[in-house]
Every structure is written in C-alpha cells, then in structure tokens.
Amino acid sequence: MTHKKMNPEAKAKWLAALCSGKYIQDKGMLERREGGKAVGNCCLGVLLRSQGVKPQIKKDDVAFGHDRNGNPEYSVLTPHYLEKFGIDVDSMNHLWHMNDRVGNSFKQIAAWIERNL
C-alpha cells in the first residue's frame, strides 16, 4: 500500500519528538493525564504535541482530539489535523495499530514513518 507523503516540516518535528525520549508511550488515547499533567502519549498524541497542539482534555482526564467544530473525538486525528499534517486515514489507522495493538516502540514507529510517509 502506498501512503500519502506528509508535510516534511511536520514529519521532521514528529520524528525528532518520537526519538527524543521526552514522551512516555501509552495506549488507548492521544494523551493520558494525571493530576493535570501529561503522563503518557500514543504516537499520534506525540504528533500533536510536536506541532504545538495540546489535545483537548475533559474533566475525567481522558484525552481527546477535536474536530473542526471543537467537538471531542477520542484517540484519533480529526480530518482537520489529517489535512494539516498531510496524513491519510489509512496511515493514521496503521500507526494506531502499531502503537496500540502491536506494541511497537516509538523508535520502531518513527522508522516506519521515515520509510513510508
């Protein structure tokens, strides 16, 4: 499968963030928060953080992305962000699968992004 090539600037920032050791890998949500502080991110949450976007947080500390109307969406990049960063839905789903289902490390995910996006 051929994946859409993403925005090169966004890609470089994302790869650097994934390999930085700054982020603790988590599953099931863009960002996990405890006591108001981020304590874990999935690879897609790291993408948002690397671009200066803070995932929207609800009072129960579950992280959400948000759609064009500001409505929360759980653990996915909304069409707005997919378009902004140049990622197609198939790539997003593949990355989610690598992070949440297979358990690939951020460095393994970064290598896949480097080769495919």
Task: State mean pLDDT over 74-103.
Answer: 86
For 87, half-sphere exposure in the C-beta direction (CA atoms, 13 angstrom radius) is 25
User: For the chain, what is the domain count?
Assistant: 1
User: Across the chain, how many H-helices and E-strands are there?
Assistant: 5, 5
Using left for φ > 0, alpha for ψ between -120 and 50, and beta otherwise, residue 35 falls in left
Domain that holds residue 72: 23-110
pLDDT of residue 50: 96
Residue 1 lies in a domain: no
- The answer to whether residues 27 and 115 touch, using CB atoms and an 8 Å cutoff, is no
Residue 29 has pLDDT above 60, yes or no: yes
Average pLDDT taken over every residue of the chain: 83
Q: Per-residue pLDDT tens for 85-97?
A: 999 989 998 999 9
Residue 7 lies in a domain: no
Residue 41 lies in a domain: yes
pLDDT of residue 70: 55
Residue 38 lies in a domain: yes
Tokens at 65, concatenated: 């992305």
Residue 4 lies in a domain: no
Cβ neighbours, 10 Å, residue 92: 19
Residue 16 lies in a domain: no
Residue 83 lies in a domain: yes
Residue 8 lies in a domain: no
